[in-house]
Amino acid sequence: MRTNMDYAMSKSERKTLKRICKRIVIQSPQNKKNITEFYRIMREAAKDEFTEDNRATLEDFLSECYRGYESLESLCLKEPGA
């Protein structure tokens, strides 16, 4: 039986993904195209994984994940004592 930890991203996967993302967003004439393609690939992977969900449900889930990231990011960026 698999546990939730079996599905968590490993340290090496996180490191590889971070390296790929840094390469994708590097300032260049191609960066907008690269970032758009990265989003397309991620959305396609989510669509392939969550086959039972309709488009609206998948859009909501991905938006929720992004909003969760924004919330975490805003906590990290708050000024001390704010």
The confidence score (pLDDT) of residue 19 equals: 94
The amino acid occupying position 51 is T
The confidence score (pLDDT) of residue 81 equals: 53
State the Cα–Cα distance between residues 32 and 26, nearest whole angstrom. 10
pTM to 2 decimal places = 0.67
Low-confidence residues of the chain: pLDDT under 70: 1-5, 72-82
Residue 81 backbone zone (phi > 0: left; psi -120 to 50: alpha; other: beta): left
Q: What is the DSSP-derived secondary structure letter of residue 80? A: T
The confidence score (pLDDT) of residue 72 equals: 65
CB count in 10 Å sphere of residue 62? 16
**Residue 62 · residue 51 · CB < 8 Å:** no
